[in-house]
Structure 1
Amino acid sequence: MRVYVPTTLDGLARLRDEGRLPADLDRYAADDASEEAEYAALVAAAVDSAALAGGGRRVVVVAELADPDGAVPLRDVVAVHADESAGADPEDDLGWFATQEIGALLGG
């Protein structure tokens, strides 16, 4: 199942450094396989990320999980959506980043 996990840049660093995000994080799943449902799940996760980030960059980790309630291993992450910079308009869409770009998102 594809899940959308709201997080922060610190959470993204944890994913990179520890190889997973914990199971206790909130996450969203699309109600069906339509693009509209997936976009709605992404937007809901982005709203939560904004609250977590407190004005910083919104970050949403997207993963394909066998257990949608379990930990989120880095190997199951298919993409990261994030603001291009801090202070982005919360109405703007998030940028799409491949997992290989996580280091660049974190400034390294």
Structure 2
Amino acid sequence: MRVYLPLTLATLRGADEAGEVPEHCERFTAEDESEEAEYAALMTAADASAEQLDGAGRRVVLVADVVEPAGAIPKKRWAAVHVDTDADADPDDDLAWYGIQEIPELIAGD
């Protein structure tokens, strides 16, 4: 099962340092495995990420493949991260895709 976790760059940094996303973090799942449903879940998570920001900032959605959607999600389950290209991005814009190996570069620029 794929889950979409709305984060900020700061919470992504904390999860990366801890090696997991804590179980209390909000998460969204797609209604089915269609591209449309997965995109809808991604954008819903992006909206939730925007609500976590104090003013300007970049929306961040971590994607993970899990067996159960509940509980902490270890780094080995992380599949990708989607992030706004800049802090002034339009909320209707798509997020850029990054591999999890690029997370250190993303959070270094925060």
Specify the TM-score bucket, using the shorter chain as the normaliser.
over 0.9
Counterpart in the other structure of 1:103: 104
1:42-53 correspondence to structure 2 within 5 Å = 42-53=42-53
Counterpart in the other structure of 2:95: 94
How far apart, in 2, do the equivalents of 1:70 and 1:35 lie? 25
1:9 aligns with 2:6: no
Counterpart in the other structure of 1:70: 71
Q: TM-score, normalising length from structure 1?
A: 0.96
How far apart, in 2, do the equivalents of 1:77 and 1:53 lie? 22
How far apart, in 1, do the equivalents of 2:4 and 2:52 lie? 15
How far apart, in 2, do the equivalents of 1:70 and 1:77 lie? 14
Measured against aligned partners, the alpha-carbon deviations of 1:20-79 in whole angstroms (never above 9, x if no partner) come to: 111111110000010000000000000000010232110000000112011111110000
Q: TM-score, normalising length from structure 2?
A: 0.94
Unaligned runs of 5+ in 2: none
| Distance apart, 1:85 and its partner CA | 1.3
CA-atom RMSD, angstroms? 1.0
- How many residues align? The count is 108
Which amino acid is 2:16 matched to? R
| Distance apart, 1:107 and its partner CA | 2.1
Which amino acid is 2:87 matched to? A
* Counterpart secondary structure, 1:63: strand
* Counterpart secondary structure, 1:106: helix
